[in-house]
Each structure stands twice: as C-alpha cells, then as structure tokens.
Amino acid sequence: MTRSLAAGLLDLVLPTSCGGCGEPGTPWCARCAAQLPAPYPVRVPGAPQVRAVGRYRGPLRTALLGYKERGRRDLAPALAALLAEAAAELPGPLVLVPAPSRPAAARARGGDHVLRLCRALARAPLRTGAVTVAPVLRAARGTRDSVGLDAAGRAANLAGSLRTVARRPPPGTPVVLVDDVVTTGATLRACTAVLTRSALRVTAALVLCDATGGAAGIVAVS
C-alpha cells in the first residue's frame, strides 16, 4: 500500500483531532489558535517581503509536522486558513507559486505538501479576490535534504538545482512564493532568483513557520 493511499484511508477511519494538541473534534482548536500571534513580517535579505503565521514551535510546529511527515492531509484546510490571514494584506488577485519539494521527498510523502497547501489556500475565502496556483518551480533529482545544513550549505545545495517549467504565467506577472518554513532564507532567495530570471515578478512570500534566529521581524541571515 502506498503512503498516499494509507494516509487517505486513515483520514476516513480516524476521528478528527486538533493537529496542535490532539483535542478531538476539530483539526485546529481555539486554544491552539489563541497561542498564535497576528501574522508578522520576517526580513530576509535577497527575498521579497515575507509574512509568517508564527514561530516554528508549539502547536503550530506539531501541526505542520503532522501534516508534512505523518500523513495528516486533513490539516491542509486549517493550515491554509492560517496562511489566508497572513495573505490578507497583500493586493490581489494572487498567483501562488509553491516552493518545490525534492522529488524523493514528495514521493515519500504521497505528494508535494506545499503544492497541496497552496491549492487549499486557493479554495479558502480571501479578501484579496481571485487566487490561482502556478506550480512552475521544479527541484532537480539528487537535491539533498536541507535539514541540518547551515546557511552556506543550504545555498550551495540549491545552487543550480531549481528550474521553471515551460508552461508558466506571462512575463511580468506578479507572483507570491509559498513555503512551509523559513530558516536561513536560502530557499526563498533561490526561488526568487529563478523566477526573476524567468521574467516573473515576486512581490511577497508566505510561510507557515518562522524558524529564523530570533523574534518576529528578525533578519534571516544569509
């Protein structure tokens, strides 16, 4: 049985529980929601304006890991709703570009989790108007997992490994990058550079979790 099929069957037979604390009855409970700040900016040199839902800790971290690594696909709408709050101040309409997963990681997880999150965000009610998803970025085979790498290692790992597909929005289209976590900013910078070379205009980035080195608004070091 594939991981994606197993995850789908679990969604059907297991009762819904909060991805942050396990409270039964809802994928994201009011108590966990109350622990989040308002969405805030994270300054990442070399990347566009970045808005984060919260720090990479507590219920938000637990929910993301459940969604990303443990097959909790039922959490996608709840996490997308959190991203929708972070997107509320962006001018619409929005064209979302998901940061790509490594091919091996996407296969192991039963699909690209950031792409699935973007599609859930496109279905969420947004004050910005129409939202479309443009999965135009691809990661080359053989790209290493960035977990455990420092800023220089992450940048070197991504150098030359990203490309855009032939079918993409017209030149000059403003797009918004989406990723699950910002740590050093290497992924956002690399994605921005590739999209810019493809004549797309990256105006902002949305992330669920801020794992930079300090409090809200801190610079993510290069």
Structural domain contains residue 52: yes
> What average pLDDT does this structure show over 117-131?
86
Which tens digit of pLDDT belongs to each residue from 56-76? 999 999 999 999 999 899 999
Tell me the CATH number at 27.
Answer: 3.40.50
Average pLDDT, the chain: 85
For residue 139, being part of any structural domain is answered with yes
The reply to whether 48 falls in a domain is yes
Checking DSSP bridges between strand 49-55 and strand 40-42, what pairing results, if any? antiparallel
Across 136-159, average pLDDT: 66
Residue 217 lies in a domain: no
What single-letter DSSP state applies at residue 85? Answer: H
Query: Cα dihedral sign for 167, 169, 171, 177?
Result: negative
- For residue 222, is it within any domain? no
* Domain count of the fold of the chain: 1
73 within domain boundaries: yes
The verdict on residue 219 lying in a domain is: no
Does residue 30 sit in helix, strand or coil?
helix
pLDDT(215) > 50: no
Give the CA diameter of the chain: 47
What are the tens digits of pLDDT across the range 62-119? 999 999 999 899 999 999 999 999 999 898 899 999 999 888 777 888 889 999 999 9
Contacts of 107 (CB under 8 A, 6+ apart): none
The answer to whether position 43 is within a domain reads yes
Percent of the chain topping pLDDT 90: 62
pTM: 0.83
Residue span of the structural domain in which 114 resides: 3-210
pLDDT for 125: 76
Q: Are 53 and 36 in contact (CB under 8 A)?
A: yes
